[in-house]
Chain A
Amino acid sequence: MALDSKIPKGPIKDKWTDYKNHIDLVNPANKRNIDVIVVGTGLAGGSAAATLAELGYNVKAFCFQDSPRRAHSIAAQGGINAAKNYQGDGDSTYRLFYDTVKGGDYRSREANVYRLAEVSANIIDQCVAQGVPFAREYGGLLDNRSFGGVLVSRTFYAAGQTGQQLLLGAYSAMNRQIGRGKIKMYNRHEMLDVVKVDGKARGIITRNLITGEIERHSAHAVVLGTGGYGNVFFLSTNAMGSNVTAAWKAHKRGAYFANPCYTQIHPTCIPVSGDHQSKLTLMSESLRNDGRIWVPKKMEDVEAIRNKTLKPKDIAEEDRDYYLERRYPAFGNLVPRDVASRAAKERCDAGYGVNATGEAVFLDFASAIIRYGKEQATVRHLDVNDAALVKKLGQEVVKNKYGNLFQMYEKIVDQDPYNTPMMIYPAVHYTMGGIWVDYNLMTTVPGLYAIGEANFSDHGANRLGASALMQGLADGYFVLPYTIGDYLSNDIRTGPISTDTREFEDAEAEVRKNIDHLINNNGTHSVDYFHKRLGKIMWNKCGMARNAEDLKSAISEISQLRAEFWKDVRVPGTENEFNEELAKAGRVADFLELGELFAKDALQREESAGGHFREEYQTPEGEAMRRKEFQYVSAWEYKGEPKDAILHKEELAYENIEVKERSYK
């Protein structure tokens, strides 16, 4: 099947408006006869479910958590971008579009990104109207801060809990519709398959995680807002339950999977402390507004710090290597995430890592504390030369800005970041790849949509900070509700979709067969045993730097591990009860397939772009080297084993931006 991205004709700034003016609409009386399934209740799924219900469709929403409010969007910290230009610092729709395409290393689709930038301002209006308590200035207006890869302040925030506040906003919009009976909410339900009837997505099979019951649900369209697949690495900043299963089942039913190798490794996370570790914790990028990243210049200082004979704050200024400021003077500590992560790896690989494992760099607030302290002392007419006072005042300012993050760090690491620099290291955080969608956000399966992190469309090879929340809400509130109507306008005469059909029976039988196998396998090792091994292969061979040899060996190792898993995994208990191990086993089985496709995609892409860094393709200074011949989206079609997947290419055209070497110097 040839890929048709269905980008509307016309100048980029008019595409979305023209598109909206010419789509088919469904009248309100007919909307009452149409059912839509939304899987996932994060920012994308939650906002979509609320909006579709408000428009009049009958929505069934599903999440595996015990409440829609707990979807992992809740953990997003730093902020949300919007081209409001409230600061008057030169921001505009075009500039947000430009920054996002450049930040994505020219591997995203222009028309989608422009639309995202266009609707971004509406998101802020919408959220404020819903009662989302964004940070404000003393005059009562909204405050902004800066994020990586941009030269303006366009990030709106609610302390370090922006994702929480936005998700609670979407959840409150859902609650309103649940209360009105327009959304039927299914908590603790996991989607285990998509059901296609006459080639169209017409329903899903779910498992009730409390009773184990397998259920059939039908609808006229199915929307997946099921997030990313970072947990294929086992250790990531994702929640424990975040998984690829819904997306992968959709892939197996005909949805192409795009750019699986584009993974964001976030530069500022708390380093791994030992083998017991179950997840990694992010320290928001917003910290790079004020924190400075460094390692010692001299190897003897590195060793002294590791042996704890020297404290980091006792290293003289001239003996510190603020390597981001040194290498990228224009953007300094606010370079994009892929660049910052690789730079940290470069210093640690050269032996300058500052913790026992050699995999950590410092994130230091000492100079910000002094700068803010002096500012406060001046404002309050106090003595700016009183070092103790300045430090105290500065710490108060930093606490107001980042208090919850500092507290989180202190609880995990048992060190006080107000008095000693934080130690950080990159960790898997977000996946730019995902299900391929066209301009309508529809997958290659008619009637099956993918929104938010689950799709691939807006971030190219690297996502800029504070853009995930923007995309999730843009898709759910403002894009999908239009595009899905165009499709559903053909379904006004269809009537209810029956679940008593051969297609539903077959899909259910397959789900049951899989579960029976896992329960009756009687192997010797737990699910985690296999998941951790998969994670090690992924991190070592498909992580921050990749090469052909490692990728080839990753492919064969993952394929072997998958065979071993099916032979030797042990799932205790039965299928008819709450059984977390069974749920995990199904998820890891899918990660074991996705992982191989990931490595295959990374091997095929013989260039470096954004989060995908191939050692063979770098500039003499060690920067990523893009190659013109790879200016396309890789969309993989399922054909059985991951090794048999077929590549389809969507060529990317840049008509409104000049493709240049991406420089932050």
Chain B
Amino acid sequence: MNLTLKIWRQANANDKGKMVDYKISDISPDMSFLEMLDVLNNELIEKGEQPVAFDHDCREGICGSCSLYINGEAHGPDRGVTTCQLHMRMFKDGDTITIEPFRATAFPVIKDLIVDRTSFDRIQHAGGFISVNTSGNTIDANAIPVNKHNADDAFSAATCIGCGACVASCKNSSAMLFVGAKVSQFALLPQGQVEATDRVLNMVKQMDEEGFGNCTNTGACEVECPKGISLENIARMNREYLKASLKG
């Protein structure tokens, strides 16, 4: 395949940045999207130009490093996959592909397509844990039975990879799906009940301080989420938040 790429280039956080066009040829449909960018970068390096910077690591859809806003969609046109699992067979010979970083106030650009998502970490520092010491002197694991349905829902919420596609897809740059997933994981488990009140209040407060917007129920986050995290998690967080607020 021969393609035209329009890629956001920005030298650093203070640079203004612009879209730059590149032509690329002989792309195999079996390549992943990031392997296609590897080919481009190799050409740029051997020509003495700066390669395009993008975040990536595991390349199997689990670490949450890769991002990219491709043709106006977080992680590109396929569903239920991250950019590293997107394959070039989703595109046609002659296509023009636009590649931008995940954009949000709380995700400032570091370079080219790389953004700073440490705001997600800070939300978790505020309450994304159960305060149990790691001494191993806890009760036997099977002394805490968990209803299978709740355990499965907690697991589904916990499969969030923290990539930020939900924020990038939301017109308000809201992080409610991300935070909702974490709050839900603990809210659904008996171990999480003790600190439920403080957890939801603290995490939501930090989320607001980081500059994420509010949720207006458009549901774009759920559509673009590579892990299929459900909107139910936002509803559950709102219920938890209301409950916690009433408790004061």
> Chain A: residues with CB nearer than 8 A to chain B?
47, 50-51, 54, 65-70, 72, 74-75, 84, 86, 119, 122-131, 133-142, 158-159, 161, 164-165, 168, 171-173, 175-176, 178-179, 185, 187, 210, 237, 239-241, 273-274, 276-279, 281-282, 407-408, 411-412, 414, 477-478, 524-526, 528-529, 570, 572-573, 577-578, 580-581
Q: Which residue of the partner chain, among A124, A158, A274, contacts B28 with CB atoms under 8 Å? A: A274
Contacts of A139 in B (CB 8 A): 145
Q: Are A75 and B60 in contact (CB under 8 A)?
A: yes
Most buried by B among A239, A525, A577: A239
B245 interface residue per 8 A CB criterion: no
Interface residues of chain B, those whose CB is within 8 Å of chain A, are 11-12, 28, 30-32, 34-35, 38-39, 41-42, 44-46, 48-51, 53, 55-65, 78, 80-81, 85, 87, 89, 110-111, 114, 116-118, 120-121, 124-126, 128-136, 138-142, 144-148, 151-152, 154-155, 158-159, 161-162, 185-186, 189, 191-192
Q: From B46, which residue of chain A is reached at the shortest CB distance?
A: A526
Residue of A124, A133, A172, A187 near B141 (CB, 8 A) is A124
| Chain A residues within an 8 Å CB radius of B110 | 210, 578
Contact between chains at B136 and A125 (CB < 8 Å)? yes
Distance in Å: Cβ of B40 to nearest Cβ of chain A: 12
Question: A-B pairs with the 4 shortest C-beta distances?
Answer: A140-B145, A122-B136, A172-B129, A133-B155
Interface centre among B41, B45, B129, B147, by most chain A C-beta atoms within 10 angstroms, is: B129
- Residues on B with C-beta less than 8 A from A134 are 141, 151
| Contact yes or no, A141 B142, CB < 8 A | yes
CA gap between A606 and B44 in the complex, in Å: 45
Contact A136 B151 (CB under 8 A): yes
Count of A-B residue pairs with CB < 8 Å:
221
Partner of B148 from the list A130, A140, A210, A282 (CB cut-off 8 Å) is A140
User: How many angstroms between the C-alpha atoms of A74 and B142 in the bound complex?
Assistant: 25
Chain A residues, CB < 8 A from B64: 69-70, 74
A210 partner residues in chain B, CB cutoff 8 A: 110
The answer, among B46, B78, B117, B135, for a CB contact under 8 Å with A524, is B46
Instruction: Let me know if B158 and A133 touch, CB within 8 A.
Output: yes
User: In the complex the two chains form, is A74's CB within 8 Å of B189's CB?
Assistant: no
A131-B130, A581-B45 in contact; A239/B57 too (CB < 8 A)? yes
One of A140, A164, A240, A412 near B147 (C-beta < 8 A): A140
CB-based contact B31/A175 at 8 Å: no
Closest to B54 in A: A580
Q: How far is the CA of A397 from the CA of B64 in the complex (A)?
A: 28
Contacting residues, chain A, for B48 (C-beta < 8 A): 570, 572
Find out whether the CB atom of A86 lies under 8 angstroms from the CB atom of B142: yes
Smallest Cβ-Cβ distance to A119: which chain B residue = B136
| Sample of 8 A–B contacts (CB below 8 Å) | A65-B65, A125-B138, A126-B134, A129-B132, A141-B142, A176-B131, A239-B57, A240-B57
A355 to B125, CA, bound (A): 48
**CA of A176 to CA of B124, assembled, Å:** 8
Smallest distance from the beta carbon of A281 to chain B beta carbons, Å? Answer: 5
- Nearest-neighbour CB distance to chain B for A160, whole angstroms, equals 9
Q: Are A74's CB and B80's CB within 8 A?
A: no
Partner of A161, one of B28, B55, B62, B121: B62
Write the nearest CB–CB distance from A414 to chain B, whole angstroms: 6
A-side contacts of B128, CB under 8 Å: 172, 175
Tell whether, in the assembled complex, residue B35 and residue A179 are in contact, meaning their CB atoms are under 8 Å apart.
Answer: no
- Residues A578 and B46 in contact in the complex (CB < 8 Å), given A129-B139, A278-B32, A408-B61: no
Interface centre among B44, B116, B136 (most CB of A within 10 A): B136
Q: In the assembly, what is the distance between CA of A161 and CA of B160, in Å?
A: 11
> Do the beta carbons of A412 and B63 come within 8 Å of each other?
no
In the complex, the answer to whether A573 meets B50 with C-beta atoms within 8 Å is: yes
Look across to chain B and name the residue whose beta carbon is closest to the beta carbon of A570.
B45
Q: Shortest beta-carbon distance, A26 to chain B, in Å?
A: 16
Q: Given contact pairs A68-B121, A74-B58, A125-B141, enumerate 15 new A-B contacts (beta carbons under 8 Å).
A: A66-B116, A67-B117, A67-B121, A75-B60, A124-B141, A129-B139, A133-B151, A136-B151, A137-B148, A179-B125, A185-B121, A187-B121, A239-B57, A276-B38, A411-B85
Minimum CB distance partner of A76 in chain B:
B62
Closest beta carbon of chain B to A19's beta carbon, Å: 16
Residues of chain B contacted by A72 (CB below 8 angstroms): 57-58, 63
CB contacts (< 8 Å) of A137 on chain B: these are: 148
Q: Are B126 and A580 in contact (CB under 8 A)?
A: no
| Contact across chains for A278 and B38 when beta carbons are under 8 A apart | yes
Question: Known: A72-B58, A175-B125, A277-B35. Contact between A478 and B136, CB under 8 A?
Answer: yes
Contact assessment for A240 and B59 in the assembled complex, using a CB-CB cutoff below 8 Å? yes
Q: Which residues of A contact B34 (CB under 8 A)?
A: 278
Contacts of A414 in B (CB 8 A): 30, 87, 89
A129 to B78, CA, bound (A): 37
Residue pair B87, A130 in contact (C-beta under 8 Å): no
Closest to A128 in B: B141
